[in-house]
Amino acid sequence: MNKKVLVASALIAIGVTISGGYTASAATTITKVYDGNTITLSTGEKVRLLQIDTPELSPAECYGKEARAALVTLLSTPGQLSLKTDPKLDKVDRYGRLLRYLFIGKTNINLKLVEMGAAAPYFYKGDKGQYSTQILKAAQTAKSKSLGLWKSCPGTQLTPNDAVTTISKAVTTTASASSTGGKCDPNYAGCVPLSPTDLDCPDIKSLGLAPVKVIGQDVHKLDRDGDGIGCDK
């Protein structure tokens, strides 16, 4: 199978076979690598890689660019690509993104990213899929060997039921918690104040917390475009 990688524009056009309850033509391609765990298909649909999380590009987190570069590199590996669902997990997330494992041949790219230290386990709401044991073991090994983000981002914690927080965000979170008396809304990273009243983006920006990552329910409706990041416009 021929693959065309457009490095200059960071757009990747790769023939991909879709499986696991999703139908697409053989001409379906990956047109964009958004970050280390999210891609866009030529159908316009976004795919969120299951059971892993990578540092954010916006707001910039430690190892965010490197994680994205790792995925781009893996996508250039020869072999047939396929997207597969997990029978134990949801097929679509709350943002409408397809939840899938990405394979090249028999290689699980989700797992490979964790083995490289480019991603960490993320078991949303504690739900574990069919590869959760391998993913967790790979993360423990990568951390013990100080690979990838585990070396570049000291202080990063292995907390599989939460989105990965690299050191740049950890510093912000600590400062924000101090300024809000330690009462943080668990639906957001970065310590958005736990408020009985509605908060909007001007409030978030005035606190120096914008943009903010949504990790639970977007109770304040800060994420207007559904990309998982609030107040980023």
Provide the 8-state DSSP code for 160: T
Query: What is residue 22's predicted lDDT score, i.e. its pLDDT?
Result: 39
Residue 158 lies in a domain: no
DSSP string, 103-136: EETTEEHHHHHHHTTS-EE--GGG---TTHHHHH
The verdict on 99 and 203 lying in the same domain is no
The answer to whether the beta carbons of residues 48 and 99 sit under 8 Å apart is yes
Q: What is the CATH number of the domain that holds 131?
A: 2.40.50.90
Average pLDDT in the 29-43 region?
A: 93
Residue 135 lies in a domain: yes
- Token digits of residue 22: 């999703």
Q: Which of these, 157, 158, 162, lies nearest to 215 by C-alpha position?
A: 162
For residue 112, pLDDT over 80 is answered with: yes
Query: What is residue 28's predicted lDDT score, i.e. its pLDDT?
Result: 79
Average pLDDT in the 12-24 region?
A: 43
The verdict on 44 and 86 lying in the same domain is yes
Q: Which of these, 162, 5, 23, 116, lies nearest to 14 by C-alpha position?
A: 5
How many CB atoms are located within 10 Å of the residue 223 CB?
19
Percent of the chain clearing pLDDT 70 (strictly above)? 79
Residue 159 lies in a domain: no
Q: Work out the pLDDT band at 211, boundaries 50, 70, 90.
A: confident
Query: What is residue 98's predicted lDDT score, i.e. its pLDDT?
Result: 97
Residue 160 lies in a domain: no
Mark which of 85, 119, 152 sits at the end of a domain: 152
Residue 157 lies in a domain: no
Q: Work out the pLDDT band at 226, boundaries 50, 70, 90.
A: confident
The verdict on 147 and 36 lying in the same domain is yes
The verdict on 51 and 17 lying in the same domain is yes
Entry pTM:
0.66
Residue 162 lies in a domain: no
For residue 175, pLDDT over 80 is answered with: no
> Residue 128 sits in which domain range?
3-152
Burial group, residue 96, by CB count within 10 angstroms (0-12, 13-18, 19+): exposed
The CA-to-CA distance between both ends of the chain, in Å, stands at 40
The verdict on 209 and 121 lying in the same domain is no
Q: Indicate the number of domains in the chain.
A: 2
